[in-house]
Amino acid sequence: MSNEKSKTTLPVSKKEILQDYKLAVESREASLIGRKEVFMGKAKFGIFGDGKEVPQIAMAKYFQNGDWRSGYYRDQTFMMAIGQLNTQQFFAQLYAHTDVQADPASAGRMMNGHFATRYLNEKGEWLTQTDKKNSSADISPTAGQMPRLLGLAYASKLYRGNKDLREFEDFSINGNEVAFGTIGNASTSEGHFWETMNAAGVLQVPMVMSVWDDGYGISVPQKYHTVKESISEALSGFQKTKDKPGFEILTVKAWDYVALLDTYKKAVDISRKNHIPCLIHVIEVTQPQGHSTSGSHERYKPKERLAWEQEYDCILQMRKWMESEKIATREELDQLEKEAKQAAKQAKDQAWKEYIGEIKRDVEEALNLIDKAGISSAKKDQIQKITSELRKELNPEKSHLIRAAKKALRILKNENSTEKQALVSWLKDKSEIYARQYNSKLYSESADSALKIETIPAQYSENSELVDGREVLNACFDHLLKTDPRIFAFGEDVGKIGDVNQGFAGLQEKYGELKVTDTGIRETTIIGQGIGAAIRGLRPISEIQYLDYLLYAIQTLSDDLATLQYRTYGGQKAPLIIRTRGHRLEGVWHSGSPMGMILNSLRGMYVLTPRNMTQAAGFYNTLVNSDDPALVIESLNGYRLKERVPDNLTDFKLALGEPEILRAGNDATVVTYGSTCRVVMEAANQLANEGIEVEVIDAQTLIPFDRPQTIVKSLEKTNRLVVVDEDVEGGASAYILQQVLERDNGYFHLDSKPLTIAGKNHRPAYGSDGDYFSKPSVEDVFDKIYELISEANPHDYPPIY
């Protein structure tokens, strides 16, 4: 290190500056090597953080224990700088190594550049968050990290503002934690970004948002992305003033090390101390290798821009600055760079050795068993061809050996030998191992899993009060808010008026605005606010006012919340409860039943469809005692229907996946859920007048579905299946049929083809008649079930019309 005095006062020690530079070079080298590994066929895709090394190191200096990151897939240097990623782990993820020790973020499930820290232990229990630096798990959809970021920051506001939360020091120390967000300039065009920024400004939460601005979005220049070609200028109206709250907005150049340190220090200090959100617009960012391994930026960037990027590369500029400041000599920096590059290469070599070594051991096992099985076979030559092809694979994958084993066993299907049986046993065992590596952890497997909570039946007496359904819910929420300081509810109109159907009526006044809170009309960030808060140990109830409006937030639910436990291999969870209401049976936009969409896109969450408010209360009691995320769809037209209040309202629980038989019968099994339970029950009563006794089963929950196989047991006596569903034809009914007929082998008991009674393939028209002619009515259910029975017994049940 040079002994000469620097020209200016340095923000950090010379030793630390050199460490920063070495890390920047090592991270850059990892990006360069990573691209080559993809082109050599050793990895499938590569997206890297080259060009952002210096600003990310500056940001990392002010990231403290307890803080949270919600970023995007170019933050590798930041993760390295906070000590939550090393270069070997970086390459292990690139190779998709399924060992969680090799790739702690995801055990090979997320593509490279997708980072996460593990805040759960192997049992799925919470670890302390305040003694470590934390990163929520990344997702690829552009700006998809933004809604969750809001919740991570909002949690600090709750921990600081609610004195009853002070005891939860494993999650927060007086709300001092800052949520750091990162995004590329082009992705700021997404609605998620704007909605989150507005909400953060309204809520005044400790959030530091960094925009890495390299002037492009893949090939598209900035003029097509952002008004004024500058996100900081576009957001200038968000700037706080003397008399109006807002953001602090700062701009800094990506290659100016000293300015970056000053900027991040200022922003983080403001945000941490005063809970003021800050936007840092990092301009003049370069992207030396272009967007990803999918293409070359030489195709679309002019020569002048490419030349500028070479000159203003942040690492090159940092080196020039260090030399000018006499921090180190040219020779010392050359040696440091050599060591950093060698470290990156060694990390790559070790990561590949461990990754491919595990697979090659499996390959050798497979080859040995296939060879042995083929020795005594009459088709030995065909078997040898299979093993010869497998041996030629330069970079074998697990799928190669599974294919080889299965091909061999197909050839040997008519032969019997101990060697063949050994291969069969090996294939079975290995398939189970691979299933755990690739197909496990979709839901919680902890002791707090919702599936482990058993039903505590509702109890009634002569004193059980008869009230509006909404009052049952109100009493339930009152108890939950009173008994657990972590529980809070929020959404449009939830606060002052207690939601549009009065489920929270009077509870904001009773428990305060931090516990029962109004929000703006912003469904995506209502969900994100809940996800982030749930990640930080709170128990939020996010309300989406109507089921139709779930479409605004379906991307965040599907790509982020539903995949969280899976994509982190059980390393993260967010036990968020989402409350909504639907199935009103009237009007184009308050009547939607997009259940097929929900069921297909929300695997990883539970979907609960209570038929009344008492059942809903039982589910809420279950969910607050579990650690799985769930969507509860209440019946919109049931809030003012009378229900008896269970004497044990605060204690009774409903197990998930357990249908309830509402009416016994022998002629047909009718499966439905939610609001249509009332329609089906009325039709069943009318059918009984004609001598037809149907068994009505309320599925109650669609995910999970009928765990005790109640429906199949019913089919054993009725031999006919009818599914009644408000969704479009083939919507939720197709899912139910697959579960009953295929999963549970219900087809075996059928004497008639299964019947589905669904809504029309359009939204209901307005008015009572619009409902009647659009969704299943009592007459529709009666007529179609009557026709089903008439087909088998026309003598006793002749055609009516």
123 token code pair: 């049992």
| Contact residues for 360 (Cβ-Cβ < 8 A; gap 6+) | 396
Beta bridge partners, 281, equal 211, 251
What's the rounded Cα separation, in Å, for the pair 763 and 771? 9
Q: How far is CA 373 from the centre of its chain?
A: 45
What's the rounded Cα separation, in Å, for the pair 38 and 395? 12
Q: Which of 774, 758, 757 is nearest to 766 (CA)?
A: 774
Cβ atoms of 514 and 162 within 8 Å: the answer is: yes
Whether residue 147 has a cis bond before it, omega within 30° of 0: no
* Residue found by looking up tokens 């050359």 in the block: 334
* Helical ranges in 116-234 per DSSP H: 146-161, 191-203, 231-234
| Contact residues for 698 (Cβ-Cβ < 8 A; gap 6+) | 611, 659, 660, 661, 662, 672, 673, 677
602 token code pair: 């929300």
What's the rounded Cα separation, in Å, for the pair 562 and 540? 16
Catalytic residue check, 590: yes
Q: How many CB atoms lie within 10 A of CB 258?
A: 17
Q: Which of 690, 735, 697 is nearest to 715 (CA)?
A: 697
| Contact residues for 794 (Cβ-Cβ < 8 A; gap 6+) | none
699 token code pair: 């599925």
Q: How many CB atoms lie within 10 A of CB 298?
A: 10
Q: What burial letters (b/e) apply to 330-368, b meaning 16+ CB within 10 Å?
A: eeebeebbeebbebbeebbeebbebbbeebeebbeebbe
Q: Which of 268, 84, 71, 272 is nearest to 173 (CA)?
A: 272
| Contact residues for 106 (Cβ-Cβ < 8 A; gap 6+) | 93, 114, 116, 137, 567, 568, 569, 571
Catalytic residue among 291, 590, 749, 762: 590
| Contact residues for 772 (Cβ-Cβ < 8 A; gap 6+) | none
Cβ atoms of 206 and 200 within 8 Å: the answer is: no
SS (H, E, C) 91-150: HHHHHCCCCCCCCCCCCCCCCCCCCCCCCECCCCCECCCCCCCEECCCCCCCCCCHHHHH
Write out the H or E segment, with its range, that includes residue 697.
strand 694-698
Q: How many CB atoms lie within 10 A of CB 410?
A: 10
Cβ atoms of 547 and 633 within 8 Å: the answer is: yes
What's the rounded Cα separation, in Å, for the pair 696 and 684? 8
Angle between helices 14-39 and 314-324 (to 10 degrees): 150
Q: What burial letters (b/e) apply to 217-248, b meaning 16+ CB within 10 Å?
A: beeeebeebbeeebbbebbeebebeeeeebbb
| Contact residues for 311 (Cβ-Cβ < 8 A; gap 6+) | none
What's the rounded Cα separation, in Å, for the pair 502 and 473? 9
Catalytic residue IDs:
590
